[in-house]
Structure 1
């Protein structure tokens, strides 16, 4: 039985399941055939958050998370990571100490879902003042993807802002003030846009024409990162038929390589978690033009050292993305 304090945290902090439905949020994709499937994802996040914010022990949280269907389980872990990050902040910002709850989750039962649990940290960031952001990322030296993939926390922050503040972030395309995440404030807006691109897939109900229209409403310099987010969401979350995925790749036009990049990252994350649904295999084939194994091999073969830097001093995360992106860019023909 959870303690009274845990029950109070749950009652005060846990969003209602209805609050994330597309109809409640007024999303244009509310009536799409994929809406019900896609709504299960934020609802799974809320379930994970509710368990993480209420239960006293990680063992109790893990037992609940493992009851979630494999396709949605990573999203529930995402919610638990969000909850544990908030709890660390409420306890006085112990996020960088070895005893932090977020660290125990990410290096423990959440390890296979490391890509999504980073995103959960970003969801917490959207609810915490910026002064606390310097404490939200736990020390994960035991993970091969830390700190390179910690930029997914910024991606998660961008997704959350677009999903819950749609008018400002999507309709008005307001840019978010940079933050020196991992010492690279100039890259922060790009990682935010990658998350916004993922949110556009949900907001528009996986309808290719609406998604493309939404992306193209943004300034041209932001569209590449938005399209990579679309490719990641379409492949990881699903929601589109084979015909729809072909339409997405065509609509991306000059940014088709960005869509493929997002698809490869999604495939890597699904494979690492140990469960690859059919729609992810389909995304590999139709958005990246690769069979599943080849897509995973591409992600693995292009991985970078955490201390590496990309062009212009961009973080190792972007260097990894660039290497994958280069695979899909057409080779210039000799004169």
Structure 2
């Protein structure tokens, strides 16, 4: 299997910033549980057995393990001799309530597979499939930091799904933003400084990813998150949208933790369950992509609803 060794997730190995021992332990544990989830997927005899193993992982880190399982099943689907339909079976069974995070894991698999082995975009939910590229972007920034973060690289020929008018690069940026939370060691000052070095037109998507990571992985105080929201400035709505996505992923999967509440209160000004509910209240019932994918208009609606105070329907 083409998979990272657990040592590859250490901040020292990656050369990532170390804000504090606590932040380092958190981020490295996330990496360890991701790879444990990967191992459970590729070693289990069935999705039921994988679920049994995954459910033993502490709530705080279980979502990351399901993300790793998404990568594992994505690799099995993509490699010769691995068979097909593993992701579909996982999503139809125990992974159903973890669909957001599993899609992200599939993006990790795509980053490790040759392009001719990539899954068809038509295999995925037309609204959520962009999360696959979030995972791809995270992987590239995490493992190819010099190229994707320092060099701010974007692949001009990237087109998955085909014919998306370049939106794939924006979805990848959302994943790069999420990776910045890890690369910068949860240091909000360094996060903001790193974003500032990117071209302005990329800042919104980067902050959306940062909002997701800072809420899902956490690792900071309320005061630090309030500072992050100030740094986001005109992109506060993007930051809040990412935070709401993270809240929904945890609420939907039954993995809500106190830190999620702290994050959404600081970033969105709302309880976690209310922020999560907004994502569903404005979710499009029918997905027909136009000049912009419905995924993007959905994200914009979430941001607008939160900035307007998060009032219910």
Residue of structure 1 aligned with 2:249, choices 251, 269, 279: 269
SS of 1:304's partner is coil
TM alignment of 1:95-244, pairs within 5 A? 95=84, 100-135=85-120, 139=123, 146-177=125-156, 178-181=158-161, 183-244=163-224
Equivalent in the alignment of 2:79: 90
d(CA) in 2 for partners of 1:330, 1:275: 27
8 A contact 1:81–1:106 mirrored in 2: no
SS of 1:35's partner is helix
TM-score (norm 1): 0.86
Output one character per residue of 1:12-62: Cα deviation in whole Å (capped at 9) or x when no partner: x44221211111100123656412112211211101111222333223222
User: 2:28 aligned with 1:39, yes or no?
Assistant: yes
List gaps (5 residues or longer) in structure 2.
none
d(CA) in 2 for partners of 1:176, 1:280: 34
d(CA) in 2 for partners of 1:219, 1:295: 29
Higher Cα radius of gyration: 1
Cα RMSD after superposing both structures? 2.0
Equivalent in the alignment of 2:231: 251
Q: Name which of structure 1's ranges 159-168 and 15-24 shifts more when overlaid on structure 2.
A: 15-24
8 A contact 1:32–1:207 mirrored in 2: no
TM-score (norm 2): 0.92
Equivalent in the alignment of 1:143: none
The alpha-carbon deviation at position 255 of structure 1 amounts to: 0.9
Equivalent in the alignment of 2:44: 55
The alpha-carbon deviation at position 126 of structure 1 amounts to: 0.3
The alpha-carbon deviation at position 108 of structure 1 amounts to: 0.7
Output one character per residue of 1:163-204: Cα deviation in whole Å (capped at 9) or x when no partner: 000000001111133213164141000000000000001111
d(CA) in 2 for partners of 1:32, 1:173: 29
